[in-house]
């Protein structure tokens, strides 16, 4: 379980996250939704310790992650998998080598075992026959999927995905959503997903937090989200015509 308490983050005196309190449970996909620039990525980077918050604490079970020295954070990080918004694949390595990279450091597997695991992960993200290509040779959506495959390579206990299906077609998008949900339940992973894709929200939104201008102003699930009274959330959810018409009809 991850627990965020009174989290504040600012950049050059500009407040980006304001008093965030939220809990993420194992075996559950938690979605952070919000408009572009609302602070989703900054929140995620605080969770994994890439940014230091100005105030507040982040707890991993009963360990205060924010106050840990780097050496101790490293132990937790070996159990984290993260997909970056821009994928952040290593461009010195092929698709396959990207996925094997963490295995090289933290397992004693033979090359065959590593390749087998890499192929298994690639298959799960619907990406085959790209093993020997370099990141610069594959499309943005393919890079995303390699990023996911790399994040789940070592069966993480915590999975963080920054917009896993932006740049993907609707079909692949749903495949990825279901993959994430499946492995979350299968391995009891604590999963946090940033998204502004309403399809994902409806498909896998068991727990949703809505960030508006750096504040977490609503939490609930994909059933409650339709009937919420929160105006900014309604503007976000019913942004398009179709959705507005559906809402009017009830």
DSSP-derived secondary structure for 128-174 = -S-TT--GGGS-HHHHHHHHHHHHTTT--SEEEEESTTTTS-HHHHH
Binding mask 79-118 for another protein (x = CB under 8 A): -xxx-x-x-xxxx---------xx-xxx------------
Nearest-approach distance from CB 7 to another protein, in angstroms: 19
Residue 5 or 107 having the CB closest to another protein: 107
Is residue 46 a contact residue for Mg ion (CB under 5 A)? no
Query: Who contacts 25 (Cβ-Cβ below 8 Å, separation ≥6)?
Result: 1, 190, 207
**Is 41 near Mg ion (CB under 5 A)?**
yes
Q: How near is the Cβ of 234 to another protein at its closest, in Å?
A: 33
How many other C-beta atoms lie within 10 A of the C-beta of residue 27?
13
Nearer to Mg ion, 95 or 193 (CB): 193
The nearest distance, CB 196 to ligand ATP, in angstroms, is 6
* Residue among 189, 158, 193, 188 nearest 176 (CA): 193
H or E, element range at 211:
strand 207-212
SS3 (DSSP) at 90? coil
Q: Which residues are within 8 A (CB) of 192 and not within 5 positions of it... i.e. 6 or more apart?
A: 2, 24, 30, 32, 44, 47, 158, 159, 160, 161
Show the tokens assigned to 188: 């009891």
Burial 40-59 (b: 16+ CB within 10 A, else e): bbbbbbbbbbebebeebebb
Binding partner of residue 102 among Mg ion, ligand ATP, another protein, none, CB under 5 to 8 Å per kind? another protein
Is the Cβ of residue 48 or residue 226 nearer to another protein in the bound state? 48
Q: Partners of 44 in the beta sheet?
A: none
Residue 48 site contact among ligand ATP, another protein, Mg ion, none (CB < 5 to 8 Å, cut-off depends on kind): another protein
List residues bridging with 211 in a β-sheet.
34, 216
Q: What is the smallest separation between the CB atom of 164 and ligand ATP, expressed in angstroms? A: 13
Residue closer to another protein, measured from CB, 25 or 45: 45
Residue 90 vs 239, nearer CB to another protein = 90
Least CB distance from residue 88 to another protein, whole Å? 4
Question: Where does this chain bind ligand ATP (CB under 6 A)?
Answer: 11, 16, 34, 36-42, 85, 196
Site string for another protein, 12-51 (x = CB under 8 A): ---------------------------------x--x-x-
**Interface residues with another protein (CB under 8 A)?**
45, 48, 50, 74-75, 77-78, 80-82, 84, 86, 88-91, 101-102, 104-106
């Amino acid at each position: 379980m991850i627990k965020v308490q009174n989290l504040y983050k600012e950049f050059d005196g500009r407040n980006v996250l304001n008093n965030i309190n939220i809990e993420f449970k194992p075996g559950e996909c938690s979605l952070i939704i919000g408009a572009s620039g609302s602070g989703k990525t900054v929140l995620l980077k605080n969770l994994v310790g890439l940014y230091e918050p100005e105030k507040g604490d982040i707890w991993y079970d009963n360990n205060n992650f924010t106050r840990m020295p780097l050496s101790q954070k490293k132990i937790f990080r070996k159990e984290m998998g993260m997909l970056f918004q821009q994928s952040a694949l290593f461009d010195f390595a092929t698709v396959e080598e990207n996925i094997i990279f963490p295995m090289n450091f933290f397992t004693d597997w033979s090359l065959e075992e590593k390749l087998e695991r890499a192929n298994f992960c690639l298959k799960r993200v619907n990406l085959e026959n790209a093993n020997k290509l370099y990141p610069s040779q594959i499309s943005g959506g393919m890079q995303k999927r390699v990023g996911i495959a790399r994040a789940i390579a070592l069966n993480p206990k915590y999975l963080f995905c920054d917009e896993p299906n932006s740049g993907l077609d609707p079909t692949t998008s749903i495949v990825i959503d279901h993959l994430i949900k499946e492995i979350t339940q299968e391995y009891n992973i604590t999963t946090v997903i940033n998204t502004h894709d309403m399809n994902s929200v409806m498909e896998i939104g068991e727990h949703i937090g809505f960030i508006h201008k750096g504040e977490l102003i609503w939490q609930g699930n994909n059933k409650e989200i339709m009937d919420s009274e929160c105006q900014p959330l309604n503007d976000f959810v019913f942004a398009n015509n179709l959705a507005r018409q559906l809402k009017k009809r009830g």
